[in-house]
Amino acid sequence: MKSKGDDPSRVVAEYVQRAQEAGARVELFSCWDRDQAAPPEVHSLIRPVDLMAPEFEFKEKQLVRWMPEDA
């Protein structure tokens, strides 16, 4: 049986939630190597818990901004 720490989605979601609790705004740009300077093609606003949904997947050149859990 896996511990909750083994799930990468949960680890990222918990990291984002802790950062938000400390007052940080969190953004992530998902892209391939050498595409870092490309403009985003997809913009998403999600809660940390949304990252753990089975249907969630990062898209190429997607800018994800996390909103607080209570939003």
Q: Which residues of 3-34 are buried (b: 16+ CB within 10 A; e: fewer)?
A: eeeeeeebebbbebbeebeeeeebebebbeee
Note whether 66 and 26 are within 8 A (CB): yes
Q: Is the pTM of this model over 0.85?
A: no
Give me the tens of pLDDT residue by residue for the chain, a chain 71 residues long: 445 556 888 888 889 889 989 999 999 999 999 999 999 999 999 988 888 888 999 999 999 998 877 66
Integer-rounded Cα radius of gyration of the chain: 13
Classify the C-alpha dihedral 70-20-26-23 as positive or negative: positive
